[in-house]
Amino acid sequence: MADNGDDDSQHRMKEGDYVVLKRGEIFKAAQIVTKKKVIFEKQWFFLENAVGHLYNTTFEIQGGHLQLKKISDAGDANDSKEVAGVDNRNIVDDGKSQKLTRDDIEMLKEKGLKGQEIIQQLIDNSSTFKDKTEYAQDKYIKKKKKKYENSVTLLKPSCRILAMMYHGREPGKICHLRYDTLAQMLTLGNIHAGSKVIVFETCAGLVLGAVMERMGGFGSVVQMYPGGGPVRAGVDSFGFPAHFHQTLHEFPLCRVNALLNGTLEAAGKNPSADEPVTNAEEEQLAPGAEQQGSPEELSMETSAVDSDSLEPEEKEREKRKEAKEQEKKQRLDEKRKKLSAAAAVLEGKNADGLVIASRFHPCPVLMGLLPLLAPSRPFVVYSQYKEPLVECYTKLKEQGGTVNLQLTNTWLRHYQVLPNRTHPLLLMSGGGGYLLSGTTVASGPPKPVQPKPAGASQSKEEPAPKRLKTTDTDTA
């Protein structure tokens, strides 16, 4: 079923869409909002010209606006590779081989020369260019393109793109979770449409968004949050359709014990009671009114009958006061509704998956949330550091109720593949964080050390050297 003109609309950018700006290996999430300036790689520009164009289109930035990039520009700067050297034995790097000065280049830029043309100028004015080897010339051109290219590509957001963006731009915000580690989490957690997944993360919403993308709007996701309210700015960047948000619930960590004990209702579903932070937030939102609040509130109640006799200015203030009170009530009501909706999803203790990725110590988080999982369901815990996961592993072994525990991390190596120039680039290893994964099983009575054949004991349950075989077949 080939697509036709009608299907195009879902691939075209609209006002309000979330996109990811890309130049080379640099990414940045943005939203197309008319008259809103965006800064990317030291350039300010508006995005509204992108509306109506397809995603993945490359634009030139001219005069602060996007212009469609003509395909003819994509040609190589140096098509005639006739003149090239053999090696660099006679090339002296004295910094004087480029005749154009920085001011000259600025002038060219101001003249309105395209990136391509500037690069050609640089080549023409370089005394050593013709002596470089073909490969060195290639490298030189690539480097200049990176510096003087004026283009930006607008991508449709996806887990892959956003994970790479966050890792490159703001790793601290996502607890240094590298994108290959995130990929492992989503698969080990068996995240799929129609399941019920619990997520606890402090990764700006990236992990939550990734889970939601893999659920496709089917099933439900409950985000557990530690403090006043869930943080999920990153989820917006995914640009999910509105109905996805109907599957997303949130539940405060501080009420989990009550939920497990079945005492949640008795505590009175008053969200503001034990979440002082939110109250502070609300007060900040309406500082002036609140401060004047108390005496005026009283006077409002006692003098409700006399409202006609009040000055028009005071009437206005009263109206605003009432409106604010209404708003506050509405918000509390909504919060209550959300809380009981989330509680209803969780209280069956039959969640299908658990994903933890936060700056908090993973041990108590994991132990506290595991009881919400059904038996024979996977869980994945991410930690930037290995030791907390060793603790988790140990506690889980002591407690029982889980099998197939694995403490791992992934190594990621990128390669440059070019004719006669293929070699590895960088190797990313421990810096991407660690994962502990496992599967729940029916929790029976605490098991004594069972006399299993082959002299197995508790410590033998830990991965035995035999595991080497499973991984050795990889290299077969």
Partner 1 sequence: MSFAEYSECIAEGDVAIIYLSHDSMMPVKVQRGAQTQTRYGVLRHSQDLIGHKYGSKVSCSKGWVHVLHPTPELWTVSLPHRTQILYTTDISMITMMLDLKPGSVVCESGTGSGSLSHAIIRTIAPTGHLHTVEFHQQRAMKVQEEFAEHRVGHMVTVRNQDVCKDGFGVSGVADAVFLDIPSPWDAVGHAKSALKREGGRVCSFSPCIEQVQRTCAAFTDHGFSEICTLEVLLQVHDVRTVSLPLPDFGTDSDLNQDQDQAQNQGQNQSPAAVSIKTTTKPREIPGHTGFLTFATKPRT
**Of residues 43-102, those binding partner 1 (CB under 8 A):** 54, 56
Q: What is the 8-class DSSP label of residue 54?
A: B
Among 422, 448, 449, 455, interactor with partner 1 by CB under 8 A: 422
Which candidate, 200, 351, 344, places its Cα nearest to that of 269? 344
Among 16, 404, 431, 457, interactor with partner 1 by CB under 8 A: 404
272 contacts: CB under 8 Å, gap ≥ 6: 278, 279, 332, 335
CA distance 367 to 51: 48
In the complex with partner 1, the residue whose CB is nearer, 214 or 335, is 214
Q: What DSSP line would sit under 86-139, residue for residue?
A: S-STT----S-SB-S-HHHHHHHHHHT--HHHHHHHHHHTBSSGGGS-HHHHHH
Task: Give me the least distance between CB of 23 and partner 1, in Å please.
Answer: 13
Q: How many CB atoms lie within 10 A of CB 42?
A: 5
Report residue 291: phi and psi, to 5°: -65, -40
Q: Which of the residues 276 through 295 are near partner 1 (CB under 8 A)?
A: none
Contact between 434 and 382 under an 8 Å Cβ cutoff? The reply is yes
CA distance 123 to 126: 5
Which candidate, 67, 66, 17, 69, places its Cα nearest to that of 45? 66
Only segment of 29-37, 82-90, 293-301, 403-411 that touches partner 1 (CB under 8 A):
403-411
Which candidate, 401, 338, 341, 336, places its Cα nearest to that of 367? 401
Amino acid (one-letter) located at 73: D
Site string for partner 1, 207-226 (x = CB under 8 A): ------xxxxxx--------
Among 92, 305, 417, 449, interactor with partner 1 by CB under 8 A: 417
CA distance 452 to 341: 45
Contact between 205 and 244 under an 8 Å Cβ cutoff? The reply is no
Give long-range contacts, CB 8 A cutoff, 24+ apart: 446-450.
446/400, 447/400
474 binds partner 1 (CB under 8 A): yes
Q: Which of the residues 428 through 447 are near partner 1 (CB under 8 A)?
A: 429, 434, 439-442, 444
Only segment of 4-12, 34-42, 129-137, 338-346 that touches partner 1 (CB under 8 A):
4-12
In the complex with partner 1, the residue whose CB is nearer, 90 or 416, is 416
In the complex with partner 1, the residue whose CB is nearer, 134 or 297, is 134
Q: Which of the residues 170 through 189 are near partner 1 (CB under 8 A)?
A: 179-180, 182-184, 186-188
Among 146, 277, 386, 431, interactor with partner 1 by CB under 8 A: 386
Q: Which of the residues 312 through 351 are near partner 1 (CB under 8 A)?
A: 350
In the complex with partner 1, the residue whose CB is nearer, 120 or 187, is 187
In the complex with partner 1, the residue whose CB is nearer, 66 or 122, is 66
Among 16, 364, 375, 431, interactor with partner 1 by CB under 8 A: 375
Among 127, 270, 307, 406, interactor with partner 1 by CB under 8 A: 406
In the complex with partner 1, the residue whose CB is nearer, 59 or 129, is 59
CA distance 470 to 94: 56
Q: What DSSP line would sit under 337-364, residue for residue?
A: HHHHHHHHHHTT--BSEEEEE-SS-HHH
462 binds partner 1 (CB under 8 A): yes
Site string for partner 1, 97-136 (x = CB under 8 A): ----------------------------------------
Report residue 44: phi and psi, to 5°: -105, 135
In the complex with partner 1, the residue whose CB is nearer, 142 or 319, is 142
454: left (phi over 0), alpha (psi -120 to 50) or beta: left
448 binds partner 1 (CB under 8 A): no
In the complex with partner 1, the residue whose CB is nearer, 195 or 223, is 195
Report how many residues bind partner 1 under the rule CB under 8 A.
87
Among 30, 159, 198, 366, interactor with partner 1 by CB under 8 A: 159
Tokens of 230: 């869930």
Q: Which residue has the tokens 């605003």?
A: 320
In the complex with partner 1, the residue whose CB is nearer, 27 or 129, is 27
Among 88, 376, 399, 457, interactor with partner 1 by CB under 8 A: 376
